[in-house]
A and B are shown apart, each in its own frame.
Chain A
Amino acid sequence: MPNLNIDARKANTYDAIVIGSGVSGGWAAKELTEKGLRVLVLERGRQFNHVADYEYAMKAPWETKYNGKITLEQAATHPKLARDYPYNETTETYWMKDADSLYEETKRFDWYRPAIVGGKSIMWGRQCYRLSDLDFEANAKEGIAIDWPIRYRDIEPWYSYVEKFVGISGEALGLPQLPDSEFLPPMDMFFVEKEVRKRIEKAFPGRHLTIGRVANLSAAKEAQLGVGRGPCQFRNRCAMGCPFGAYFSTQSATLPAAAATGRLTLRPDSVVREIVFDPATQRATGVHVRDAVTMEDHEFFAPILFVCASALASTALLMNSKSERFPNGLGNDSGELGHNLMDHHFRAGASGMWEGDLDRYFYGRRANGIYMPRYRNVGDDKRDYLRGFGYQGGGSRQGWERNVAELSFGADLKNELVQPGPWTMGLMGFGETLPNHANHMSLHPEKRDKWGLPIVVFDAAFGENERKMRVDMMEDAREMLESAGLKNVKTTDGESFPGTAIHEMGTARMGHDPKSSVLNGHNQIHGVKNVFVTDGACMTSASCVNPSLTYMALTARAADFAVSEMKKGNL
């Protein structure tokens, strides 16, 4: 009689398990399968097929019900998701419902969790920037938190490696604080942006205004055409999913590459409840999974685990993986797991109106804005706060949505609105947040979600350093726009809470010392060598640039390391 347990275990055993299928998980799946491993990807979200499931992507405005608005019922039943725009008519089914994504907040915290295969790689903003040694050295130089265990030279080849596959459109500037990527041709700038750029760069030496660096194919090369992707059509409907595969997502890029090896198994609706630790080997042996739909429990096994569930979900999973050896969560010898929660603070800046040049217009919808690399606390510049910010934003001519004379109606109103409005230009800061032990997440002692998992409690807030920086984010923008000739320039400090920028990170940080960090310089848990955490949880500091590209590079680097360690018999 066959031993059913042994057979079942064998059937559920892979060479590697990847938890999560977003930007990081997709890269882990691609790299590990291409290196010959049989990989199981576990995704808690539902199946979400490339092109076929992009419900609103090709719809005309008149084919929407509410022109993007959410309904009162959706707002009432999703009090957290409905706080911000990512939850709207066209993408509302892409996010985990409030009822499924339970969490508590001591202070306001926005947690946007995807409900689909591909995770936030479908809805992301696609801005891609390299960190530099200005970032990697900052903690050590300033005595903040702990030092990064890596420097720019460690990650540089991996940035190049992932960029060639991702396809990033941008302009090379040769700046040390914002190293250039492997670029596809830059997208064009609007007339007003070109003018403002000239004037700012002349009036403020050391400041640069460039086109955004974005994971949209301004031209498709072999690496992208090979997985079925095509060039950007300039529709600017990216967040709904791109039927042309023109921006980088798991579905458009890493998933087809991994699937092409024949070694990928993707299991959607798979809520990973726990990573199982074996005290005999001091290694993880696999995971406990609850099927999100059937509620049945399963166990899967592998000698290598990549935790890529997104910063906060990965951290919650580690926290929930308790054993005698790790009573406070897997790999949490340092007590830092869940702490040092960071996000970027943003939505502070200025905008103004450009007079004249109404004989110039534009063609197409650019799915990208401008970027102004960090210049504060760079070189000889010294402020009364640490770190700095970059600007995103841009300029365009207004459309029919603009404000017009208060009482205007009839043919006058119509004739005015069918013509392009004035040129405008805005700059919005994205600021670095300092790592702070006090900013943390924990698991609720009693409350459980639908799948029986403890819900997360957030206790995080921006501090004095961020508040001081926001003054510069507004005032610098005002000063530059006014000097560039814009009129009626107004500053704005929009609401920005931890989580709002959806750049959450830092809760299982990398470091040299197991006593003060969770991961080593290869994203490997200090005390559990076969578990790698390569999403935003690993970040030791936040930089001010959009982080996804760094997760991709660190994931590819960690996958290479893991396989070489496996071959040496070290895992």
Chain B
Amino acid sequence: MIPRREALERLSLLLGGALSTQVTAALMGQVINGGASVAVTPEQTALLAELADVIIPATDTPGAKEAGAEAFIIRVLRDCYPMEEQESFYAGIAGIDEAGRKAHGKAFVELTPDQKNALVREAAEKNRSFFRRLREMVVTAYFISEVGATQALEYLPVPGRFEGDVPLKPGQKAWAISR
């Protein structure tokens, strides 16, 4: 077998040296996303699921936890966001947990609904950019989930026709796919 470095050089020559290092690396199947992603612990996963459920709780329809919103958030953060944004996100949720421990001596997941709400409100006021990111993640994760799209909203995979002006029926939910 040809050593990796030599293989890369040969390929580069074949291509006329026109490739950037990044592109060549990608061609060779090398992952170039600046190092590892945040390794998410079961505790972080549980905390995120709980926070998501505070942002989108169960009402007459299930909330974000039942929808499994945290799995989408963890996946998108891991694969689509730079390491420093992942770190600041997980630091943000850890901060809420920490504040809860200080105030009540318990992990966030063990607190009462009122205590959880108060902590999230406090975090929203103190760190708006983190809160906006968290909320955007939860809202997206929830409304594209099967539970969110088909129970909280009205999911219409194949409308079959278009009408641009119809009466909104009393209590009618918004379309899950809005465009």
Contact = CB atoms under 8 A, between A and B. Distances in A.
Contacts of B72: 67
Contacts of A448: 15-16, 18
Given A99-B24, A365-B159, A399-B175, 16 more contacts: A58-B157, A60-B146, A62-B149, A65-B75, A66-B80, A67-B140, A73-B33, A77-B25, A358-B168, A361-B168, A362-B166, A365-B179, A396-B179, A414-B152, A444-B18, A449-B16
B164 A99 contact: no
A410 B139 CA distance: 11
B171 to A, nearest CB: 9
A407 B127 CA distance: 11
B166 A406 contact: no
A395 B7 CA distance: 54
A447 B17 contact: yes
Interface stretch (A146-154, A189-197, A274-282, A525-533): A189-197
Contact of A365 (B63, B155, B177): B177
Question: Most chain-B CB neighbours within 10 Å: which of A62, A98, A407, A447?
Answer: A62
Interface in A505-543: none
Nearest to A396: B179
Contact of B26 (A99, A418, A421): A99
Nearest to B145: A62
A401 interface: yes
Given A62-B146, A410-B117, A234 B161 contact: yes
Contacts of A98: 23
B26 A190 contact: no
Interface in A54-101: 58, 60-62, 64-67, 69-73, 76-77, 79, 98-99
Nearest to B170: A359
- List 9 A-B pairs, minimum CB-CB distance, nearest first: A399-B178, A77-B26, A364-B159, A364-B162, A448-B16, A61-B144, A191-B165, A190-B164, A361-B168
A414 B157 CA distance: 22
A361 B170 CA distance: 11
A62 B147 CA distance: 9
B108 interface: no
A446 interface: yes
B48 interface: no
B55 interface: yes
A398 B143 CA distance: 14
B147 to A, nearest CB: 9
B176 to A, nearest CB: 7
Given A102-B19, A365-B177, A407-B131, A359 B164 contact: no
B40 interface: no
B119 to A, nearest CB: 11
Contacts of A401: 139-140, 178
A73 B165 contact: no
B14 interface: yes
Question: Most chain-B CB neighbours within 10 Å: which of A99, A415, A420?
Answer: A99
Interface of B: 14-20, 22-27, 31-33, 54-57, 59, 61, 63, 72, 75-76, 79-82, 117, 120-121, 124-125, 128, 131-132, 135, 139-140, 143-146, 149, 152-153, 155-168, 172-179
Contact of A420 (B160, B164, B174): B174
B80 to A, nearest CB: 5
A228 to B, nearest CB: 18
A170 to B, nearest CB: 14
Given A102-B18, A450-B14, A188 B139 contact: no
B16 A400 contact: no
Given A66-B75, A448-B16, A449-B15, A234 B162 contact: yes
Contact of B159 (A234, A421, A444): A234
Contacts of A67: 72, 76, 140, 144
B168 A359 contact: yes
Interface residues of A, number: 65
Contacts of B75: 65-66
A55 B105 CA distance: 50
B169 to A, nearest CB: 8
Contacts of B14: 450
A366 B18 CA distance: 43
B33 A362 contact: no
Contact of B153 (A58, A364, A418): A418
Contacts of B179: 236, 365, 396, 399
Contact of B59 (A194, A235, A415, A449): A415
B149 A413 contact: no
A233 B32 CA distance: 41
B162 A362 contact: yes
A419 interface: yes
Given A66-B79, A413-B55, A188 B144 contact: no
A455 interface: yes
A383 interface: no
A360 interface: yes
B160 A193 contact: no
B155 to A, nearest CB: 8
Contacts of B144: 61-62, 64, 67
Nearest to B113: A410
Contact of B152 (A70, A236, A418): A418
A72 B117 CA distance: 33
B80 A72 contact: yes
Contacts of B178: 396-401
Contacts of A365: 159, 162, 175, 177, 179
A194 B25 CA distance: 53
A400 B80 contact: no
A427 B23 CA distance: 38
Contacts of B149: 60-62
Interface in A342-385: 358-366
A539 B152 CA distance: 51
A66 B178 CA distance: 18
Contacts of A235: 157-159
B160 A409 contact: no
A234 B179 CA distance: 10
B55 A455 contact: no
A358 B172 CA distance: 12
Contacts of A77: 22-23, 25-26, 32
Contact of B164 (A189, A409, A413): A189
Contact of B173 (A66, A418, A444): A418
A360 B163 CA distance: 11
Given A66-B76, A66-B79, A67-B140, A410 B165 contact: no
